[in-house]
Chain A
Amino acid sequence: MRINWRKTDPLSRGPVSEARLGAGRAPAAIGADGAARGKEGDPIKGTLLKDCIFSIKTFAGAMLALYLAFSLDLPRPYWALITAYIVARPLAGMMRSKAVYRLAGTLVGASAAVALTPALIDAPALLMLALALWVSACLFLSLLQPAPRNYALRLAGYTAALVGFPCFDAPGETFATALARVEEISLGVVCVALVGQLAFPRYAGRYLMARLDLWLGAGARWACDALLGREPAADRRRFVAEAAGLAELCVHAAYDTPALRAAESATRTLHARIAALAPTIHALGDRLGALGPDKGALSPILAALTKWLSAGPRGAPDDAIAIRAAIASARRPGPPPERADPLARLDDLARLWRECLLLRQAVRSGGASVSRRAAGDPPIDRDPEMAARSALALFVAILACAGASIAIGWQGGAVATMMAATGGAVFAGRDDPAGMTMRFSLWTTVGALFAGPWLVAVMPAIDGFAPLAASLGLVLLPIGCVTAKRAIGANAIAFVYGFGGLMALQETYLVDFAAWANGVLSVTVGSWTVALVMALIRTVSPERAVRRLVAAGRADLTAIADGRWVPNADDLVERMFDRIVAIGSRLAAVEGATGACLDQALADLASGLDLLRLGQQRATPFGGESRLAARA
């Protein structure tokens, strides 16, 4: 028996979308905006009905793929079935981007294997080295790319491993394996994407609006905390958490519908504006806190601003005019205000909030008129060191598996190597790739064990496609309801992977215990090897990840202070805010975290903006004192 080694990436999460908070948080909306919260808020966490529809859709797509694969006499029909389950995502945009990138990656990877193998087949050591290099290089590049696109590169990497390593045992079959893989992946992807797009599609756009409102609501609440002198920690955390959910959704919404694509630049601008609220609110809280309880002449302005902000995202944008006029008249005539002046910060807040509200209306109404920010890639925070460590770990793991199996002449070695390559590539982006790989292999084994009795007891009684589909539905329909869940989705997909892989035996209909044991053993050896190497080279504790993020922010500040880097303010906010979101997502995992590092990162962002303004105001390059300011 052989375990199918098709890679599974249930939730392709890049470095940015990796940032999520625990599921337990309650989204916040303020006052009258409470209606915005609720089911619409979290697209992935749908209701039971939505889960069932999603499961039925996935099953229909998978069965269509399986039926076509059988009727076209493809060599491994169950690959199409497993692919369907891997690609299926609840939102149309998510699925579309994943399908496209999976197709492209598979094509490139299979071509690479076909190009490499014949040239080097006479020197297995060289071929092994070349494949390992290809896989690690692809992984390295993919970790430096933004979220949905990196999936193609990762897939290009390990598809080459999936096609290339079996040819150590069967050199003549490289092309056939490559062709079979490309055919079945395409079939699975196209079928499930077709069903997903045509039958009851769920678009990210609706959720996007609700999510934007929740984020704006959280921002307004946090701003009110700052204005009223309340303790902001909880609302600040919520604001960062909302941003994490939204970043992911924004990426998918771009693939969703043409209408949304038109509104994308408005959405992006709004995103940047809301992110810019963070340093403003933080600095305002600092300034007002320094004033003490007696606000003096500021009180009426604070009250008016608080009232306006309390209306949340439904406030009237034009209320800003009166408030900003009041701020302007409260200013003493004389030299232009310093940034430290709370009035200047209040004015910033009023201006930003007005822009947010206007942009929100623009996004709601289609948003084609807004084009302040050219559409392009958001500046992502690249971390070449971690990417290089992941790639090195994968390289070592592949060489260890392949080398050992060539040395001892182990037949299952190819499967072990492929498991190592896929496990490493799929989970390398996480903080804890070793644990994820182990969990995945555990659930694959559970799926394989579950399929055993099925294969022996149920399958012999089945003739024809309809009874087969019905019997598969008994297992796959309930499983399909949970494949989209955040916490256990990966396990469910690992289960389908093991289950489907074992079902693939049904063609040859050989219930051969030795082959089965070899398959299970090689999956285990492969995943343990990659987990071990990843644990040694790659895994970082959440504490360390947070420290690295804070340090990266400081490095940016130093670069700005030295005049080595002069970013655009929007880019700086986006880049540093991404880090803050990443810190926020890890806080739950850090023991005894008080949120002080979040506070610190926000303070760093605020000082970064101040440094930038300082740089613009001074014609001369920075001297030593601004370096001191950066370190303070």
Chain B
Amino acid sequence: MSGEVDLCGVFFPAFLVSLAAALALTALIRRALAACGVYRLIGRAPLFDAALAVIVLGGVTVAQGGLPWR
């Protein structure tokens, strides 16, 4: 999880990359859910979105081999 990514000579924290990936993934999932009409069953869409983003970010972090509880 720690470590940095070198992008054209600028060092970005790896977490930023996971974050970007997670946000893109969340956006895709939201599109898919909205297309299926799932949002009609959800009372608090922003809350749902925020929770979804956190879960996806957790998933991305774990997938990258980073275990926050390690």
Contact = CB atoms under 8 A, between A and B. Distances in A.
Contacts of B45: 257-258
B39 A259 contact: yes
Q: Would you call the interface of chain A mostly helix, strand, loop, or mixed?
A: helix
A259 B46 contact: no
B20 interface: no
Interface string B23-60: 00000000000100001100001110110000000000
A258 B30 CA distance: 10
Contact of B50 (A92, A194, A257, A258): A194
Nearest to B47: A198
A258 B34 contact: yes
A426 to B, nearest CB: 28
Contact of B40 (A194, A198, A201, A259): A259
A607 interface: no
Contacts of A201: 46
B27 to A, nearest CB: 12
A197 B46 contact: yes
Size class of the contact patch on chain A: under 10
Interface string A82-93: 000000000010
Contacts of B46: 92, 197-198, 201
Contacts of B40: 259
A120 to B, nearest CB: 20
A508 to B, nearest CB: 27
Contact of A198 (B34, B39, B50): B50
B50 A197 contact: yes
A436 B9 CA distance: 43
Nearest to B31: A258
A197 B46 CA distance: 6
B8 to A, nearest CB: 11
Contacts of A194: 50
Nearest to A201: B46
A332 to B, nearest CB: 53
3 tightest CB-CB pairs across the interface, nearest first?
Answer: A197-B46, A258-B39, A258-B34
15 contacts: A92-B46, A194-B50, A197-B46, A197-B49, A197-B50, A198-B46, A198-B47, A198-B50, A201-B46, A257-B45, A258-B34, A258-B39, A258-B45, A259-B39, A259-B40
Interface of B: 34, 39-40, 45-47, 49-50
